[in-house]
Amino acid sequence: MHDEPTAAGLATTPRAGGSGGVGDNARSWLVWGGTAVAFGVLIWWILTQMSLTAFFAQILNGLSFGAVLFFLASGFTLIFGLMRITNLAHGGFYLVGGYIGISVVRATGSFFLAMLVSALAIMVLGLFTERVLLRPIRGLEKPEVLLTIGLTFILGDMSLAIWGGDPTPIPKPDFLNGALDIGGFVYPRYRVFVIACAVVVGAILFWVEKRTRWGAMVRAGVDDRETVAALGINIKAVFTGAFMFGAFLAGFAGVIGGAFLTLLPGQDFEVLLFALAVVIIGGLGSLKGAALGVVIVGLIDSFGKALIPELSFFTLFAPMAIILVLRPRGLLGRE
């Protein structure tokens, strides 16, 4: 096709809906200002409750947990932003990916091979889910939600039947065991590795989104799917690729997270709940929103469990509810 659009042209596809009015701008300033003030007061109060060393340890705990959530939330928000599918089977993908990782580590002794095999296996499962299960009901929101919830239950029961119900951590490589000593501050080496993985994967995702033709097609598809299809691009192939990539990240997260969160029945719904909180706070359809959301959710979860464990879920979901009321699309969500 000689008149095929360029990546730059796709990236500038206009969005519908305008820039919003004065009321929207005032509400945005209210949300951001209130968030900044609340965090300032919260940090001051936290520092009165714990030592500086404990404070930094909880920050790293929150960032390492948020790093695992980033792999889930970035794929989740990509699928929703492009396909408008709330894939509630994402937690099931995570759980099955982790269990596949356990089997590979036990068979080969290689943690990194387990990461690759699990991610590829869940990517194939994602292909089957999108092409066989979801494509016939594309655009039917309630059937899509019900189908993905049902798939989560099926994956959970299959995992229980195959791998059993005992909490099982994935064995880590020897060089990632132990702790790092940074100027007298000691912290588990594996958690630092998880944070580093999230930073690297996040940088790659941002580069792909901003610098490649596929990223341009995805961004244009998020903004205006009909126009992209009218330009002659196979939008169904883009949809399938995005869904497979999101599933790949979920399988990858299952191995990364399973090594320090352990794997057990029911964890699929638990991690899905946290991933939903991330994308609601950060904003659906926004990779930057996912990155911001995992930092906020990870830190709130870490400090909430350390300081007021009996209210840990309240401290997480109360801010999410407030953001939903004041800014339904999330802090960095697209219109």
For the whole model, what pTM was predicted?
Answer: 0.83
Q: For the segment 289-321, what is each residue's pLDDT rounded down to a tens digit?
A: 889 999 999 998 898 888 888 887 888 888 888
- One-letter amino acid identity for 24? D
Asked if 268 contacts 155 with a C-beta cutoff of 8 angstroms, the reply is yes
Contacts of 124 (CB under 8 A, 6+ apart): none
pLDDT for res 29: 72
Structure tokens at 101: 């990782």
- Residue 24: CB partners within 8 Å, gap ≥ 6? none
> Residue 199: which pLDDT band, with cuts at 50, 70 and 90?
very high
Handedness of CA 129, 131, 132, 135 (dihedral sign): positive
pLDDT at 148 over 50: yes
Burial 240-259 (b: 16+ CB within 10 A, else e): bbbbbbbbbbbbbbbbbbbb
Share of the chain above pLDDT 90, in %: 34
Q: Give Dmax over CA atoms of the chain in angstroms.
A: 66
pLDDT, greater one: 202 or 50: 202
Q: Which has the higher per-residue pLDDT, 138 or 172?
A: 172
* pLDDT tens-digit readout, 261-271: 889 888 889 89
Q: Where are the domains of the chain?
A: 50-326
Which of these, 99, 218, 114, 222, lies nearest to 169 by C-alpha position? 99
- The span from the CA of 270 to the CA of 27, in Å, is 31
CATH architecture under which domain 50-326 falls: Orthogonal Bundle (1.10)
Residue of higher predicted confidence among 211 and 128? 128
